[in-house]
Amino acid sequence: QVQLVESGGGLVQAGDSLRLSCAASGRTFSSLGMGWFRQAPGKERELVAAISRGALRTYYADSVKGRFTISRDNTKNAMYLQMSSLEPEDTAVYYCAAKSGYGTNWYVGYDYWGQGTQVTVSS
């Protein structure tokens, strides 16, 4: 079992920065591939960024490349999403997710999910 808890969401203005955190517990964190998803009202859930177990590989959606940075600290069982130059289009509930399986597909195999944290960007 893995428990994930997101934090750091809030209401910000366009152009601001925000850092989301995900705290994991329940098993060895370094054995988990991690990702950040988001879901905006009226839209499907999308993968924003992902990071491999050893943090050597990362993925970013085209819409956030150059603005968001995913990272992890396996000594603290934590994952982060640094968001810069935020836009109203980034408004969504952001979810932390983890996968225990293997594979190279960034989108699939996530077995554990956090409760989500709301990010709202005003113009």
Is residue 81 a contact partner of residue 49, using CB atoms and an 8 Å limit? Answer: yes
Residue 26: is its pLDDT beyond 90? no
pLDDT tens-place string over residues 39-90: 999 999 999 999 999 999 999 999 999 999 999 999 999 999 999 999 999 9
